[in-house]
Amino acid sequence: MTRTMPQTLAADIMRYLQMPDRPVLSKGEQISRFVDFLSETHKIVGCRRGECRKRLRRFSHVLGASRPMADTARDVERLIITMQDIGTRPLTPARLQDAFR
């Protein structure tokens, strides 16, 4: 069975959040490392780094936690929805041209 982009993106987000050896970083470094991790398998995230960084600022408490906790489950769900929204919107012609370079 083939997994769709939202399923694999959600699985990759959870895999990142559950990594046991994530170092303590500043808010900006947390977001950058998260975006870099996702862009390895989801090229659309790499094409939209600026947008990702801007929209992920409100999730720094989730990205900085040593592991997802029960009280952050709703925020993790919102993080996944935000990343799916970023990943499924069509690229503008300029972004599409940049992606093919």
List pLDDT tens digits, range 43-57.
888 888 899 999 999
User: Which residue stretches of 40-92 are H helix?
Assistant: 43-47, 49-56, 60-63, 73-88
Task: List pLDDT tens digits, range 80-90.
Answer: 999 999 988 88
Residue 29 has pLDDT above 70, yes or no: yes
Residue 57: its pLDDT value, please? 93
Residue 2: its pLDDT value, please? 46
Per the prediction, the chain carries an average pLDDT of 85
Looking at the chain, the number of H-run helices and the number of E-run strands are 7, 0
Q: What is the mean pLDDT of residues 14-29?
A: 87
pTM: 0.81
Q: Is the dihedral of CA 14, 34, 60, 80 positive or negative?
A: negative
Phi, psi values for residue 61, rounded to 5°: -65, -30
